[in-house]
Structure 1
Amino acid sequence: MRFSLFLFILTSLLFAKMDHFQTIQSNFSQKVTNDQNTTIIYEGLFYATNDKKALWIYEKPVSKKIYFNQNRVLIVEPELEQVIITTLQNTPNIAQLLQEAKEVKPNTYITQFMETTYTILAQKGTIEKVMYRDKLDNAVEIVFYNQTTNLFLDDELFKGEIPKGYDVVRE
């Protein structure tokens, strides 16, 4: 599950493909379907800046925040009272992946990392959907909607802190 989560984080920053924005805010819906055709849908908010900071706020069905900056990923899981910290060495180089993404037909891009192929659908300068199949053979589809760009986003929004009493896992 954690590996799949990190791949989700990877795809989140594919918004950087649209380099004309300073900031972006969007709702998202992430649908994960396993090989038994069981589906779970996650919903929340996504924030990002063109200087590689991002924040995913999961609201349903569980509460979770994922902070991304140039040096690390911080995952705060209130229901588990746990924080996972990893470095970007444990996640793919987003900029390189984006540079390697190829337009295969109008508004459709393909990129690959660690044997996983990502399909990105874009329209009018925004990414609408990211699809891939993870290492556990789950079909993952992330849909972005209600996007706004170039709003003021305070840097404090992206400063994840470790709540007192939470277990810390370093990967």
Structure 2
Amino acid sequence: MRFIAIFFAIVIANLYAKINIASFHSPFIQTVINDQNRTLRYEGEVWFTKEPLRIKWIYKKPNYKEIYINNQKVYIIEPDLEQVVVKRVQKKDNFFTILDSAVLVKGKQYKAFYDGHDIFIDLKNGKISKVTYTDKLENKNSILFTHPQQNIPLDDSNFTIEIKSDWDVIEE
């Protein structure tokens, strides 16, 4: 699930820039259907800013988890495990690659290609409403943004990372 969130955060942040989005906030529902037709459902909330690049992705259900991304690092905070995983951002140039590759394919749907996968981005009322793709494990992923807000001021406090002193911090 970490890969999925990081992957989509990078993809979505870059596609927002292509279609002139400086900031974004929305609750979301993520559905993952595996090759045995088992469905997993996640709910949460996401915030993005283009300049500076900041992403906050919170999963609220079924388990609480926070993911923060900036130009250098990814922080995965898992309160239930009392741990934080910190990773370096690996492919900074993919932000621009994704932006350049997204094309309008029909109506209000865009298509991008990233890491061997097609990513479909649907717009509704000029706002990103849904992102779908199939991942490396052949899981069908769909993220529905239920109340998208674009180009709105986002307070810096939304991107403040809080790590409790007694939690394990794992640097990868």
State the TM-score, normalizing by the size of structure 2.
0.87
Q: Which runs of 4+ in 1 moved over 6 A?
A: none
Q: Give the AA of the match of 1:57.
A: I
Corresponding residue for residue 23 of structure 1: 23
**Contact residue 5 and residue 57 of structure 2 kept, 8 A:** no
- SS across alignment from 1:160: coil
Q: Give the AA of the match of 1:121.
A: D
**Matches of 1:120 and 1:83, distance apart in 2:** 30
- SS across alignment from 1:79: helix
Q: Give the AA of the match of 1:33.
A: I
**Contact residue 11 and residue 98 of structure 2 kept, 8 A:** no
- SS across alignment from 1:6: helix
Deviation at 1:158, TM superposition (A): 0.9
- SS across alignment from 1:152: coil
Corresponding residue for residue 151 of structure 1: 152
**Contact residue 25 and residue 148 of structure 2 kept, 8 A:** yes
Corresponding residue for residue 73 of structure 1: 74
Corresponding residue for residue 46 of structure 2: 46
**Contact residue 29 and residue 144 of structure 1 kept, 8 A:** yes
**Matches of 2:167 and 2:65, distance apart in 1:** 13
Alpha-carbon RMSD across the aligned residues, in angstroms, is 2.0
Deviation at 1:92, TM superposition (A): 6.6
Give the gaps of 5 or more residues in structure 2.
none
Corresponding residue for residue 89 of structure 2: 88
Bigger shift: 64-73 or 86-95?
A: 86-95
CA-to-aligned-CA distance 1:73-111 (integer Å, 9 cap, x gap): 111111121212122215772232122111112211111
**Matches of 1:168 and 1:105, distance apart in 2:** 45
**Contact residue 9 and residue 55 of structure 2 kept, 8 A:** no
Q: 1:162 to 1:95 in 2, by over 3 A?
A: farther
State the TM-score, normalizing by the size of structure 1.
0.88
**Contact residue 128 and residue 148 of structure 2 kept, 8 A:** no
**Contact residue 7 and residue 134 of structure 1 kept, 8 A:** no
Q: Give the AA of the match of 2:41.
A: I
**Contact residue 92 and residue 113 of structure 1 kept, 8 A:** no
Corresponding residue for residue 139 of structure 2: 138
